[in-house]
Amino acid sequence: MRKGDFRAGLLASIPVFVGYFSVSFGFGTLAAALGINTLDATLISFTNLTSAGQFAGLTVIGEAGTLLDMFITQLVINSRYALMSLSLGQRLGPRIGIESRLAISFFNTDEIFALAMNRNEPLTTSYMVGLGVLPLVGWTGGTLLGSMLGSVLPAAITTALGVALYGMFVAIVIPQARANKSMLYAVVIAVVLSCLFTWMPVLNKLSSGLSIVLCTVVASAICAWFFPVNHAEEAEQ
């Protein structure tokens, strides 16, 4: 365990904490509007930590869907985490055991994954846990306050809070894309594919979760082919 890694992870995750708090406030508000009590809404955020999955779950609950509906919805929307975990698992290396990996997997969200993959120094358990603690607090705390106070604030404010997550993610990815040509190409390819899945007549019929997975796989495959990672150099870092 490297001294100071936990603190470094905490400092790096502060923007994620702010974004998660803002977005989860909206989740708490929506949960309260659907009749979910504050304790249940807070427990959902504390045990899941997945924004798109939780909002989709609320839709299924609001429409009185079945457990099968919930299972399929979560499987499709959250399937991208399997791809992210495979990539992150390679960066962690053999020095991190299965117990630590299980703990780290709970925090493997889009933004935390981006921060971890962009770190130049070797990843450690303490750093990864440091990355995850504040976002978990922000996501859970925002849900708690949103559930309790959402009905008091104007709708315009609660809606605006949801934009913070997208701004935060752009702030994480863009500086790295400017410094790394392969990452820049991956971002551009993913954006182009995302536009196709949004506006093309046939492709726009696919679910958002499946579209994200396809964009990720195609962009990653293209960049892996043209910009392969030199594992020998990576192991020396």
> DSSP string spanning the chain?
--TTHHHHHHHHTHHHHHHHHHHHHHHHHHHHHTT--HHHHHHHHHHH--HHHHHHHHHHHHTT--HHHHHHHHHHHTTHHHHHHHHHHHHH-TTS-HHHHHHHHHT--HHHHHHHHT-SSPP-HHHHHHHHHHHHHHHHHHHHHHHHHTTTS-HHHHHHHTHHHHHHHHHHHHHHHHH-HHHHHHHHHHHHHHHHHHHSTTGGGS-HHHHHHHHHHHHHHHHHHHS---HHHHHH-
- Using one digit for the tens of pLDDT, what is the confidence trace for 81-119? 888 888 898 888 788 888 899 989 999 998 899 899 888
Considering the domain architecture, whether residues 43 and 104 belong to the same structural domain is answered as yes
**Number of structural domains the chain divides into:** 2
Considering the domain architecture, whether residues 31 and 108 belong to the same structural domain is answered as yes
144, pLDDT greater than 90: yes
Exposed, middle or buried by CB within 10 Å (0-12, 13-18, 19+), for 5? Answer: buried
| Residues 165, 159: Cα–Cα separation, whole Å | 12
Residue 17: pLDDT band with limits 50, 70, 90: very high
Considering the domain architecture, whether residues 213 and 135 belong to the same structural domain is answered as no
Considering the domain architecture, whether residues 174 and 185 belong to the same structural domain is answered as no
pLDDT of residue 237: 43
Considering the domain architecture, whether residues 215 and 140 belong to the same structural domain is answered as no
Considering the domain architecture, whether residues 53 and 40 belong to the same structural domain is answered as yes
Domain boundary among 152, 179, 206: 179
Nearest Cα to Cα of residue 23 among 142, 156, 174, 135: 142
Mean of the pLDDT values across residues 10-21?
90
Top mean pLDDT of 32-41, 47-56, 72-81, 136-145 is at 136-145
- Using one digit for the tens of pLDDT, what is the confidence trace for 186-201? 889 988 998 998 898 8
173 versus 15: which is more confidently predicted?
15
Residue 67: pLDDT band with limits 50, 70, 90: confident
2 versus 54: which is more confidently predicted?
54
Considering the domain architecture, whether residues 30 and 117 belong to the same structural domain is answered as yes
- Using one digit for the tens of pLDDT, what is the confidence trace for 212-236? 778 878 888 888 888 876 544 444 4
Considering the domain architecture, whether residues 45 and 82 belong to the same structural domain is answered as yes
pLDDT of residue 139: 94
pLDDT of residue 230: 59
Give the structural domain span for 148: 5-179
Considering the domain architecture, whether residues 34 and 114 belong to the same structural domain is answered as yes
43, pLDDT greater than 90: yes
203, pLDDT greater than 90: no
| Residues 198, 72: Cα–Cα separation, whole Å | 21
Domain boundary among 179, 195, 224: 179
Considering the domain architecture, whether residues 188 and 107 belong to the same structural domain is answered as no
144 versus 55: which is more confidently predicted?
144
Considering the domain architecture, whether residues 195 and 85 belong to the same structural domain is answered as no
Domain boundary among 133, 149, 179: 179
